[in-house]
Amino acid sequence: MEIANPIYDVVFKYMMEDNTVAKLLISTIIGEEIVSLDPKPQEHTRENEKIKGEIPNLTVYRLDFSAKIKTTSGEYKVIVIEMQKAELPTDIMRFRRYLGEQYIDSDNRIADNEEIDAMQIYAIYFLGKELGIYDTPVLSVSPEVKDVSTGKIVGDKNKFIEGLHHKSWIVQISCLKARRRNELEQLLSIFDQSNRTSDIHILNVREEDFPEKYRPIIRRLKGAASDSKVKKQMKEDDEILKYLRDVARIEANKLLKEKEKTIEEKDKKLEENKKELEEKDKLLESLQKEIELLKLERKNG
């Protein structure tokens, strides 16, 4: 079966606009049941920034949700889900800024027994390149509360701690190759780029390789593959990304030339300093000879 490649932002967006599909994907990643999932306003889902004030930025795609979940302990709670997809993990400050926006957003609070509580944040990152942690498609980072003296994990659910610390999951897309150890890795194989066809916009998968409950996701991506608007946007994204890479390469070459010029100027300066020292050494040697001659004349006079 041919499906649209969800590594493209437009396909990822198309997939996540289906609430059933979004709930399936997110709940499988976090390992908790999502009772309800509400996307935040569209204007907050993607930044139209500019790199150095000139180049449109398409490197980080962002989706925000509020969700009611049922935890593994059977409790219900309302959380914020911050989802980001990026080719590279290098722009940490941008990830931090997006996350910081969630912490300071006054809407991310909930009234509970006449008290206003901060909603815990769940952050999910899809990265095109690995972090240097290899052969691990999905990483889970969760705060632990420990007794400093004993090192023992202590404490139950705590509003103060949950309000100040977030959970996160990192999907390393490049590590998904042939890793199908559990249902999560089976599901995330929809991102496996080794399944690309001759058309990089299309992946070839077998529907029977996915558990029945995940088939709506596969069918959604199949629909995206035949959507003319999605196809057009993927091609436009290719052109923009090519432009960004070309600009980045030009900038890199420019910086390299500037560094080479700086090194050349430094080498030239060092050579000039070396000649000056040699001239000074010759002058000093000449003066020493004159002094020796004067001493000898005085002695003989």
Residue type, 137: P
Q: How far apart, in Å, do the first and last CA atoms of the chain sit?
A: 111
Q: Give the pLDDT mean for 139-164.
A: 87
Q: Give the pLDDT mean for 63-76.
A: 91
Paired sense of beta strands 60-70 and 33-39, if any: antiparallel
Q: Give the pLDDT mean for 26-34.
A: 96
C-alpha 288/C-alpha 24 separation (Å) is: 89
Residue 275 confidence (pLDDT): 92
Residue 151 CB-density burial (10 A; 0-12 exposed, 13-18 middle, 19+ buried) = exposed
Does position 42 have pLDDT exceeding 70, yes or no? no
Residue 61 confidence (pLDDT): 86
C-alpha 47/C-alpha 61 separation (Å) is: 8
- Three-state DSSP at 239 gives helix
Residue 252 confidence (pLDDT): 84
Q: What is the pLDDT of residues 221-256, one digit of tens each?
A: 999 999 999 999 889 888 877 887 788 788 888 888
Does position 16 have pLDDT exceeding 50, yes or no? yes
| 276 contact partners, CB below 8 Å, separation of at least 6 | none
Does position 201 have pLDDT exceeding 70, yes or no? yes
Q: Which residues pair with 146 in a beta bridge?
A: 153
Tokens, residue 114: 């006449």
Q: What is the pLDDT of residues 87-120, one digit of tens each?
A: 776 667 788 888 898 999 888 888 766 678 889 9
Mean pLDDT computed over every residue of the chain: 86
C-alpha 214/C-alpha 222 separation (Å) is: 13
Task: Compute how many other C-beta atoms are within 10 angstroms of the C-beta atom of residue 37.
Answer: 18
Q: Angle, to 10 degrees, between the axis of helix 215-225 and the axis of helix 228-300?
A: 90
C-alpha 55/C-alpha 255 separation (Å) is: 17
Domain-wise residue ranges, the chain: 2-226, 228-301
| 170 contact partners, CB below 8 Å, separation of at least 6 | 125, 127, 131, 138, 139, 141
Lowest mean pLDDT among 30-39, 51-60, 118-127, 148-157: 51-60
197 or 160, higher pLDDT: 197
Does position 7 have pLDDT exceeding 80, yes or no? yes
Q: Give the pLDDT mean for 261-286.
A: 91
Does position 51 have pLDDT exceeding 70, yes or no? no
Tokens, residue 152: 């023992």
137: nearest Cα among 128, 150, 149: 128
Q: Give the pLDDT mean for 187-207.
A: 93
